[in-house]
Structures are given as structure tokens and as C-alpha cells.
Structure 1
């Protein structure tokens, strides 16, 4: 049980790191005209996410080594087991994640030197590294679990699914922060732009999720007859709650951003989204770790 809980925590931290860097960079685009305080917050948000990602991804691999070795904590450093798992899907996925988080950490740490005294601009090389890191993270999910045994369509679907949910969930903390510091007029414009773009990645999230369900389940009855299916239902309920709150924000709360009361209502709704998103990430960690999606 100890290894299971440790694996779950390490995977959950990895997922949180993943959504923070993807959502963080997305919000950097949304707030391009905002002040230095907002941009500095996002820089730190991404840096912390990348650092946690490097540590959690590495730790997850060594926890699996220890779990397979079954010789206590010292088993985490069993060279024979490390060699074996390093050549498995787990090893390749862990390596890709560590590389991806490092590719994010390096340029943003370098660019952040001297900020906000000097403005941050990302050239082609930095953007290239960031894109590669996102693709590596998405690809890593196709290297392990049941998806690794499916055809290439399912592997692409899991990649799109991961990126879409990361764009959405990873943007929540920055948007919550914007409600505290941004001018109401600018906040409304940012939220409107987010809502417009959210339509795209929510559509990708739903379509890729449905495709994966069709590929992973042999029969609809598995949704209620297996631990895997029941956990999936819980995740779907969480995502549905996020969709409801997101629709509420877009259709009602953002158009009513005219005063501090409107800002407070939006901030409260985003706070609820953060709570639900946290539960969804924990369920996802459980699915991908203890059940093995």
C-alpha cells in the first residue's frame, strides 16, 4: 500500500506540473498586454511547475523501481531493476517527461533574469523548446498503460486529450489571480478571449475523450461493472462539472463583469473550478497509476 500511495502522489504532482506549464504559457499569450506583476506571477507559476515536474517524474520512476524490487526503500536504487525498467515504456515515458520539464525550466529561467527590469520576449528557439516539451509530455502518455497497446489513433487521441485538459485546468490559477489584480475592463477582455479559445480545446477534449472510451472499453457495461469503468464515470462527472462552471462563466458571469460584485462572483466560480479540477487530477492519477489506463 505504501508504494501505491507514493506512486499516486508522485503521479498527481506530475500531472499538476504538466497542467501548470501548459496553462501558464497559454495565459502568457492571453495577458501579453498586462503589467509586469501579472507576467512575473506567470513566470514563477511556470518555473515552479517545471521544477516540480522534473522532481516528481524522476521520483515516480524510482518509486516504481522500489515497488518492483520489493526490498524496501533501498530497492528504489536497485541497479538491475533500474536497468530493466529504464528500457520499458515506463522508463521512456519518465525520461521524456524529465526532458520536457527541463526544456521548459531552462529557457524561462534564463529569460527571467533581470525581469521586470528588462522585458521578456521569446524568440523562435525558446518557442521551439516550449512546443517540443508540450509534445513530449503528450507523447509520454501514449507509451504506458493500455493506450500503449492500442493503434496509433488512440495514441494521438490521448496526446490531444492531455494537451486540451492542460490548457483548461492549467489556466485556472492564473485566471483566479487576474481577478485579484487586473482592471475590470481588461479582465473582461481576457476572459472573453479565453472563452473563445476554450471552445476549441473543450471540443478537442470531448471528442478525444469519447474516442478513447470507444477504444478502451469492449462493452458499455464495463462502465458500471469494473473498477476502471466506475472510476471513469467519476472522472466524467468531474469534467461535466467543469463544463457547467465554464459555461456559467462564459454565458453569464463574464458578460456581467461591470463592477467588483461581478468580479467576486467570477472569482468564486473559478475557485470552485479549481477545487473540481484538483479532484479530476487525483482521479486521473489514480486511473493512470493504480488501474493503468
Structure 2
């Protein structure tokens, strides 16, 4: 059970790293289009650093998850993590392929971020594509039809871009002269509508593939864990709707604007729980 906890933690960090490198790109676009001119240049460097930190964390987490997975199979203590025979044996199996793909993708993204040459932009696109594909190699949907795996990739892309943008937006929401940032949050709200649509549709397809009947939500451990995750997703969507339709349109009202940072903070807490739950029921509960 202890090994499961550590493997789940490493998966959680991989999800967080993926969100950072995806959300950082979305935030860069938002700042380029809508941020106050005085902040664009300095914040662009901050956002590039944000992506690089996420990439570094992703490389570390992907490496750790693979060694922890080996240790969980060996059950021979810390030394069992470094079993060379098992390391090589699993390298071409789904766990090894997923880990190596994510390591390579995070390295490419971290090294290529901020470089202006066209060739690096192409390399970055390939890095992001590899990052998303890595989630289809192993897990509950690894043997699913191609269209389900595409739904999973879109799900990761949408959720990562949305949730990874929250931290930079939270910092922006805590700045003075918040009304000058209104266009940033309005633009994000417009993007969020499309993101949420993709998220919901992809989620429906994946749930349909994972559960044989609606009763599985309460009849199986996996269904109950998934239902718990959906409850936090519902809270996340509720917070997003509150920001878009209530708080952001009234940012000029000094009695309302302070709540923006608080609601985004609640969203980030929900995201942390969602990532932890996803990792936990993937590793510990499993799918029957």
C-alpha cells in the first residue's frame, strides 16, 4: 500500500506538470492579446519560466514514477527500485514507453520554450503531441479504440490548458488596478467556454468506455471514485461560471473584485484534489 501511495503521488505531479506546460502556453497567448502593455514583456519571461519549471518537474516525476513502479512490483525495499533486469524488461512495455515518452516530451518542451526559430516551434508542437500521446499508452484506456484515445488526449489538453492557467491568473487577480486586467479574464472566459465543451464531451465518451452501466457509479469502487472526482469537477465548473458571469463583468465594483482571487484559489484547490483522486483511483482502486 505504501508503494501505491508513492506511485500515486508521482502520477499527481505528472498531471500538475502537464497542466503547467499546457496552461503556460495559453496564458502567454492571453497576455499577448489582452494584458496591459506595461506587463507583457516582463510577464512573458515569467510565463516561459513557469513552463520550464513545469517541464523540469515533469521530467523528475516521470523518472520517479517509473522507478517507483519497479519498486512496487519488486516489493524489495528501496533497492528493489533499481533492479536493472526489471528496468530493461519493462522499458518496452507500456509503463516504460509512457515514462520515456513523457521524459522526452518534457525535455523538448522545457528546452524549446521561448525560442523564436520556426524549427523550434515545430519541435515544440511535436513535444506537446508526444506528451498527450503518452497518456494513451498505459492506463485504463490503453486498449480502447482510437477514437476513445483521441478523446483522452483532448481531455488532457483541455483540462491541462484550463487548470494550468489558473496560477498565473491568480497572481494577476491579486494585483492592484484590477480593472485594467478585465480583458484578460474576459478572453480567458471565452476560451474556457470551448475548453469546457471539449472537456465535457471527451469526459462523456471516456466514461461510456469505462463503465458498463450507470449503476456502476454506485456499484463498483471505481465508479464511486469516479463519481467523487466528478463532484469536484462540478465545483470547479461552478467556480468558473461564477467568475465568468458574475465577478468578471463587475470588476469595477470594489466590493466584488476581491472575490476573483478567492474563487480562483478555490478552483486551484479543486484541481489539486482532482489530480490526486485521478492518480489514486488509477493506481490503488484500478479498473475492473
Instruction: Specify if TM > 0.5.
Output: yes
Structure-2 separation of matches of 1:154 and 1:122: 35
CA distances 1:4-26 after superposition (whole Å, capped 9, x unpaired): 11101111111111101100111
- In the alignment, which of 30, 43, 47 is matched to residue 42 of structure 1? 47
User: 1:279 maps to what in 2?
Assistant: 273
Task: Flag the structure with more relative contact order, 1 or 2, with Cα contacts below 8 A and sequence separation at least 6.
Answer: 2
Stretch deviating more after TM superposition (184-193 or 200-209): 184-193
1:219: Cα distance to partner? 1.5
CA distances 1:97-116 after superposition (whole Å, capped 9, x unpaired): 001110111123xx4xxxxx
Residues 152-231 of structure 1: pairs in structure 2 closer than 5 A: 152-181=146-175, 183-231=177-225
User: 2:76 maps to what in 1?
Assistant: 71
Alpha-carbon contact 2:52-2:111 (below 8 Å) kept: no
1:262: Cα distance to partner? 3.5
Structure-2 separation of matches of 1:186 and 1:41: 19
Residues 125-136 of structure 1: pairs in structure 2 closer than 5 A: 125-136=119-130
CA distances 1:132-157 after superposition (whole Å, capped 9, x unpaired): 22211211111112201111111111
Unmatched runs of 5 consecutive residues or more in structure 1: 112-120
Count of residue correspondences? 282
Alpha-carbon contact 1:184-1:259 (below 8 Å) kept: no
1:70: Cα distance to partner? 2.0
User: 2:91 maps to what in 1?
Assistant: 86
1:129: Cα distance to partner? 2.5
1:237 is the counterpart of 2:242: no
Alpha-carbon contact 1:38-1:178 (below 8 Å) kept: no
1:259: Cα distance to partner? 4.8
Structure-1 separation of matches of 2:43 and 2:281: 35
User: 1:10 maps to what in 2?
Assistant: 10
Stretch deviating more after TM superposition (139-148 or 32-41): 32-41
Structure-1 separation of matches of 2:259 and 2:158: 26
1:183: Cα distance to partner? 4.2
User: 2:19 maps to what in 1?
Assistant: 19
Unmatched runs of 5 consecutive residues or more in structure 2: none
Structure-1 separation of matches of 2:281 and 2:132: 16
Alpha-carbon contact 2:173-2:261 (below 8 Å) kept: yes
Structure-2 separation of matches of 1:164 and 1:128: 20
Alpha-carbon contact 1:145-1:292 (below 8 Å) kept: no
RMSD: 1.6
